[in-house]
Every structure is written in C-alpha cells, then in structure tokens.
Structure 1
Amino acid sequence: MADAVPTLYEWAGGAEALERLTEAFYKKVLADDLLAPMFRHMTAEHPKDVAIMLGEVFGGPKRYSDEHGGFPRLLSKHRGRNIQPEQRERWVQLILEAADEVGLPSDRGFRSAFVAYMEWGSRGAMANSQRGTKPPERESLKIWGWGEASPGND
C-alpha cells in the first residue's frame, strides 16, 4: 500500500540507525560523571540489546520480546537501581545529543514522538527502579507510534 505511514523504526532508518544511536549514546554515558557509575559494569552487548528493544518499541521486529525476554527482562534491568531525577534527565539529554550526532531524522514529527518516548520510558524506568515499587503487570513492551504527528497528517 503506497500510502502506508512508515513506523518510527522505518523512519529512523531501521536497526542500523538505532545501533549507531545506542553506540554513540553509551560512549557518552560512560564518559559522564553522573551516569557512568550506573553503567560501568554493563556488558559489551548492552548497546545492541537496547537498540533491539528500541526497534521493537518503534514498530520494528519483535526481537526483544522473542529473543531477550521482553518487558519482564527490561523491568528486571531497572529494579532496585534507585534512579534519581537528575540521572533520568541526563540520560534523556545524552540520548537526544546522540540522536543529533548520528543523524536520526530531525523533522518535528519524528523528534516529537522520539522525545515523548524517551521522556515516558525514562520516567517509567525511574519509577520502577525505586525500592518497594510494585511494577506494572504486563508482558509486552509498549509500542510507540507517531501520535498525531505522523507524516502527511498536516
């Protein structure tokens, strides 16, 4: 169908673009005084795993759910980490800087959806990282779309 609206995954440039994003992002994280302590023990595969997760969230292949454990695994990676607001804010700042650096689309519609997910997802990660918090009871990742800002929806 020629008029089909591409997914955010397709618009971003697919798996390759998201891998470039997470590689650049985690280099920034490891050089950041506020975030490096939280990530210094991450595996070499962590950036690629996050790219796969973002790919699924943005409407790409369901590889994170099928191969990596889906939402329960994502949740387990954040439990008990006690993420603080300033850490969450820096995380978002650095991923947005990395998006610019690797050339993710800069059009307003894509960036609106991308920023909205990073804000929403990081707030959820922060909330679920607090001790004593009861996490959401679901199995699947939330799939993020364009909202009202899809291409051709002017």
Structure 2
Amino acid sequence: MDATVYEAMGGAEAVLALAEAWHRRCLDDPVVSHAFHAGTHPQHTERLAAYWAEQLGGPATYSGGVGDHASVVRVHSGNGPHEQMDGRAVAAFVAALDDAGIPADLRLRDTLIAWFVWGTALLNHRYAAPEDVPDDLPLPRWGWEGTDGW
C-alpha cells in the first residue's frame, strides 16, 4: 500500500517547512504579496500547514479544531479573476518545494504541483462571493490519483 502524499513528503515537519517557504516567497513577490496586505493570523503558517496536511492525507488537525474549509474558501472568494497572482503563487510553491527540502521524487512533485494548481483554482474561483459558499463544505482530500467529487 502506498504511503499518503503527506507521508511521502515527510509528514508534519515537511509540510510546515513547505508552508513557511511558500509564505516567505509570497511575501517577497510584488504581485502575490498583495494577498497578504491586510496581515495574517499570528499562526498563519502553522494553520496553513495543518490545512495542507489534512488535504494530503495527514491528521485531521485543521478540521478537528483549527477551522473549516468553508471559512477558508469564504476568505478567498469574491476577489475576481487574478490569473497573474495565481500563476505566481504556483511558481512560488514549486520553488518552495526545494526550499523546504521536499523529496525530488518526480511522482511526488507532480502530485503536489497538480494539487496546488487545483486547490488554488478551487479556493479562489469556485464561488463568486463569500455568501455563495455553503456552510457544510467538506475539506477536500488529495491522493496520488487526485481527488473525487470536485
């Protein structure tokens, strides 16, 4: 049986390192940094890592006490198209894989990049406005073959 994507990338420590590396790169990018102009939660990267970990097959820490998927989607909805920002966020993620020391295994890297591209589109563009997001929106899971139901 295959390890989960979360396990293959190195577990909690690796996901946190990736979240930190990605966030640093976003803040350094003149286009992507705009998304953070209003500031972030003091534990932003830890919360982000828990959110990512749960989606990638890790523990249900995020939905078990940090927050819910609907709230995350509401924060990111209603901002209109921003293809350049999305593309640069993906580029920051790809570079952050190396920064964080994520294994260079091609299957793992391809899976993580596909997940991040899909997640960026889903998070930012599925709902036109925050009030359109259902309260009971489940946290999507992503495995080696992608995800079901989205």
Tell me the TM-score normalised to structure 1 length. Answer: 0.84
Deviation readout 1:73-115 (Å, 9 max, x if unpaired): 2212212333501111111110110011111121111111101
Seen in structure 2, the aligned counterparts of structure 1 residues 70 and 9 have a Cα distance that, compared at 3 Å, is same
Structure 2 counterpart of 1:35: 32
Compute the displacement of 1:138 (Å): 4.7
Structure 2: gaps (5+ residues): none
Contact 1:78 1:129 in 2 (8 A): no
The two structures, once aligned, show a CA RMSD in angstroms of 2.1
Query: Which of 13, 18, 32 does residue 15 from structure 2 map onto?
Result: 18
After TM superposition, which residue ranges in structure 1, 4 or more long, deviate above 2 angstroms?
A: 79-83, 128-139
One-letter code of the match for 1:37?
H
Structure 1: gaps (5+ residues): 149-154
1:4-153 mapped onto 2 (5 Å cutoff): 4-40=1-37, 41-128=39-126, 130-131=128-129, 134-135=132-133, 138-147=136-145
Seen in structure 2, the aligned counterparts of structure 1 residues 56 and 110 have a Cα distance that, compared at 3 Å, is same
User: Alignment identity in percent?
Assistant: 28
Tell me the TM-score normalised to structure 2 length. Answer: 0.86
One-letter code of the match for 1:78?
H
Seen in structure 2, the aligned counterparts of structure 1 residues 139 and 90 have a Cα distance that, compared at 3 Å, is same
Report how many aligned residue pairs link the two structures. Answer: 145
Seen in structure 2, the aligned counterparts of structure 1 residues 69 and 43 have a Cα distance that, compared at 3 Å, is closer
- Give SS of 1:105's match: coil
Distance 1:76 1:18 in 2: 23
Compute the displacement of 1:133 (Å): 8.2
Seen in structure 2, the aligned counterparts of structure 1 residues 6 and 72 have a Cα distance that, compared at 3 Å, is same
Seen in structure 2, the aligned counterparts of structure 1 residues 64 and 80 have a Cα distance that, compared at 3 Å, is same
Instruction: Decide which structure has the larger Cα Rg and report it.
Output: 1
Contact 2:73 2:130 in 1 (8 A): no
One-letter code of the match for 1:42?
T
Compute the displacement of 1:44 (Å): 2.6
